[in-house]
Amino acid sequence: MEQLFYVGSYSKQGGYFPARTKDGLSLCSLNNNTGVLSKKRGFKDIVNATYLAKYGERILLVASDEYYDPGNVLSFAIQNDESLWPLSSQSTHGAATCHLSVSEVIDKVFVASYIDGKLSVHSIREGMLSPAEYVYQYHGYGPNKERQEKSHAHCAEISPNGKWLYVCDLGSDKIWLHDTKNLTGKFTDVTGIRVPLGYGPRHMVFGKYGSKIYVICELNAHVLTYEQNQETGMLTLMDDQTTLPEDFLGVPSASAIRMHPSNNALYISNRTHNSIAVFSINKSTGLLTFETRFDTNGKEPRDFNFDSTGKWLVCANQESDTLVSFEVDDKSGLPTKNIKSVLECGTPVCVHF
């Protein structure tokens, strides 16, 4: 039996990234029994698919990055033969569009653009995206003069109940909080939650035990555990841990954070260490305990994801142009570290099952 998944790649050269493929999106397969990976087809008409999400089972959403020019958010209907039928394309009004999330509770899509620190909000109906209903321009800076000279929105995550939207701003060391019932496009309806200075929050995931939210910070490769107030959406910092070994002498650059389907383990990738750190999650407190770290068998693991069974992890090594599958214990959520398959794939940056 095989599982299909999509991989986004840089396919058009930009100011800060190479492009070593013409396929901005690829459809790949994973053999559930062996972990062997294969490529089914490429989509050359999709440019720089930096992030992917699904609306329902048959609508694929794609964030498309045009670097300094405004990016786009695209929607496609997944056909029975797994081809993609274009449904809609809307401007994000932001440069270096890098992340999106969707809420089927409120039928909204939220898209972050890195370079100019913007968020665009779109409605979605039957797979069709509206033009941006609101565009937020964030403002701020941090102590790292090279990376934090201004706001850089790196992800927009909507809470499972559709009530709260959180935007990680790497440039200003803030997580911006929006109440989705009060979206106006004006900065007056935004609350800034400060993270420790110089950390550079990048991505986040919602925990399943208690009201925990986990945030990965790119600039120092730390993972922060927050307690969420269910009434106000505000966050209280509970824990702060590094994802790197003590003897690491390079420049930290954490990239992706994912929860294992068992909800028992949290995984975080480090691009400059070529590794994935694994933490177990206490079911009573939601707090993290470091368990292990493993090499990704490639350079710059930009993203990774788990298949639906929780038995396999597929890692996208951006600078070695490879996808690598690893075996995982589906009950504990911990890795066996066994490499099962390596597949060539140009500049992969996102994996979505």
The token duo for 7 is 């991989």
User: Residues, the chain, total?
Assistant: 353
Residue 115 has pLDDT above 80, yes or no: yes
Residue 80 has pLDDT above 90, yes or no: yes
Q: What angle do CA 270, 97, 80 make, to 5 degrees?
A: 90
pLDDT class for 316, splitting at 50, 70, 90?
very high
Q: For residue 282, what pLDDT is reported?
A: 97
254-310: pLDDT as tens digits: 999 999 999 999 999 999 999 999 999 999 999 999 999 999 999 999 999 999 999
Q: For residue 271, what pLDDT is reported?
A: 98
203-216: pLDDT as tens digits: 999 999 989 999 99
Residue 14 has pLDDT above 90, yes or no: no
Distance from the first to the final alpha carbon of the chain = 15
Q: For residue 196, what pLDDT is reported?
A: 99
Contact predicate 111/89, CB 8 Å: no
185-239: pLDDT as tens digits: 887 889 999 999 999 999 999 999 989 999 999 999 999 999 999 999 999 999 9
Q: For residue 1, what pLDDT is reported?
A: 87
- Domain 48-194 classification at class level: mainly beta
pTM of the model: 0.97
Phi/psi region, residue 286 (left: phi>0; alpha: psi -120 to 50; beta: rest), is left
Residue 15 has pLDDT above 80, yes or no: no
Residue 34 has pLDDT above 80, yes or no: yes
Of the candidates 233, 212, 210, which has an alpha carbon nearest to the alpha carbon of residue 224? 212
Question: What is the spatial order of strands in the sheet that 254-259 belongs to?
Answer: 254-259, 265-270, 275-281, 288-295
Residue 16 has pLDDT above 80, yes or no: no
Mean of the pLDDT values across residues 180-188?
88
**Average model confidence (pLDDT) across the chain:** 97
